[in-house]
Homo-oligomer: A and B are copies of this chain.
Amino acid sequence: MSRLALASLLAVLMAPAIAAPANDAATLNRVRDHAMQSDWAYQRLEDLTDLVGPRLSGSAGAAAAVEQVAATLRALGARVTLQPVKVPHWVRGEEKAELVEYVGRPAGLSQRVALTALGGSGATPAAGLTAALLVLNNFDELEARKAEVKGRIVLFNVPFDQWQAERGLAGPAYGHGAGYRFMGPRRAAELGAAAALVRSVGGADFRLPHTGATGLAPEQRIPAAAVSTEDALLMARLARRGPLAMHLTLTPQTLPDADSFNVIADWPGTDKADEVVLVSGHLDSWDLGTGAHDDGTGIAGALGVLHTLRELGLHGRRTIRMVAWMNEENGGRGAQAYQTAFGAQMGKHVGAIESDGGGGHPFGLMASVSARAEKLFKPLQAALQPIGAGVFRREERLQTGDLHLMEDAGVPSFEPLIDTSTYFHYHHTAADTFDKVSPDALRRHVAVMASLAWFMANMDETPGRVPALAD
């Protein structure tokens, strides 16, 4: 063997150990450009949603999703660990409702109400229950009429502010409605309600009920459901005519906690392999749709990060760790389990990314970093600007479903900044399906996540811990 050949061989064999490529613009651009030209992640989204479909924690779908994603990551050559997580196991049952008394009702008729149980809902008797409805527009009205709640079905008829969502404020619009979804049934239960209904939290009008978690404590599990916007409006109109009663049947079950897993996959770093850049989405979904936007695109995006680096033969200085979180939707047990296992290593977590805003067009990034650290990301912004994703919006906390515990520990957190103006049309409904995600948007999504992950894996100066935004 010639000295030249020997040197070449050594270079190949030692590649993981020698210095990684510098955090230069050219390499960053290669990462971006590869992502922008690949539909590999989109194909993984198709596999996840078409072959597995819904994957609520504890379900066979969730278990199949763990296997599918772990197999994909192993095939990429990542170091894969399945981290055990005990998850809530709530199972939807029969669900139907009709308005059986109202002023002007023709004899023998009733009006069907489209609804779906909220995660954590209790059950009615198998034959259902009948009770008078109390239609309320907000918690002030609940307070004012609390003497009327006992034995009734309370409806929180709180509209979703689609116009706010169109203005780039889908988060607050959602938060307002989701607050009623989470706390409304609880407060109704405390006042002795027979059941609680919320108007679906979403901005479209296709008679779709939107499920989601509700905050009922185990000892107060009254039946709780989301009605479609149309049906909330119907009940509000009929309530203006006079007394209104519903026959409601919901038979969900809360089973013992089930065994599940976070899927953790390391793409090893070189000289700083003990430091971690975490890139993630959540693998569980609600059970009505196939969880394409929520959060198949987060999983596909994170997978796409590792795929891009594999295809380009790149390892960063730091380890890039993909986490496919389990149980974001109704418990957050995956994030808790990670914190239990890795809490002592939070100082080594340079940054954590979660994508959980759907597969809309990405404009850039949201980041919980200190003001001092913002300037460190200028080269990244420069790399993302050509694909229209150069916005770097600093926020005090992102509070994504799975990163808030890391935020508590001071880890800088990141999330793609997505056009979410129509996200809540589909979120938590049967219509959250593969066809809703554009391949183009998903390519951009991967480009943003991969560029960010690669950039942080190779930064000289890291953003440091995150104190308050004012810092």
Contact residues of A with B, CB < 8 Å? Answer: 46-47, 50-54, 60-61, 64, 67-68, 102, 104-106, 108-109, 111-112, 114, 204-208, 229-230, 233-234, 237-238, 289-290, 425-426, 429-431, 433-436
Contacts and interface: CB of A to CB of B under 8 A. Distances in A.
Contact of A208 (B108, B207, B233): B207
Given A204-B206, A207-B430, A109 B53 contact: yes
Given A106-B67, A106-B68, A109-B61, A205 B431 contact: yes
B112 A53 contact: yes
Nearest to A231: B433
A162 to B, nearest CB: 14
24 contacts: A46-B237, A50-B104, A50-B237, A50-B238, A51-B104, A51-B105, A51-B106, A52-B109, A53-B109, A53-B111, A60-B109, A64-B106, A64-B109, A205-B435, A206-B208, A206-B426, A206-B429, A207-B430, A207-B433, A230-B431, A230-B433, A230-B435, A233-B435, A237-B434
A33 to B, nearest CB: 28
Given A430-B114, A433-B234, A108 B206 contact: no
Contact of A431 (B207, B426, B430): B207
A207 B289 contact: yes
A423 to B, nearest CB: 14
Contacts of A234: 50, 433-434
Contacts of A53: 109, 111-112
Contacts of A114: 430
Contacts of A104: 47, 50-51
Q: Among A102, A104, A111, A429, find the residue whose CB has the most chain B CB atoms closer than 10 A.
A: A111
Contact of A50 (B52, B60, B111): B111
A60 B52 CA distance: 42
Given A64-B109, A237-B46, A205 B436 contact: yes
Given A50-B234, A207-B208, 16 more contacts: A50-B237, A51-B104, A51-B109, A52-B106, A53-B109, A54-B112, A61-B109, A67-B106, A206-B425, A206-B426, A207-B289, A207-B430, A230-B431, A230-B433, A234-B433, A234-B434
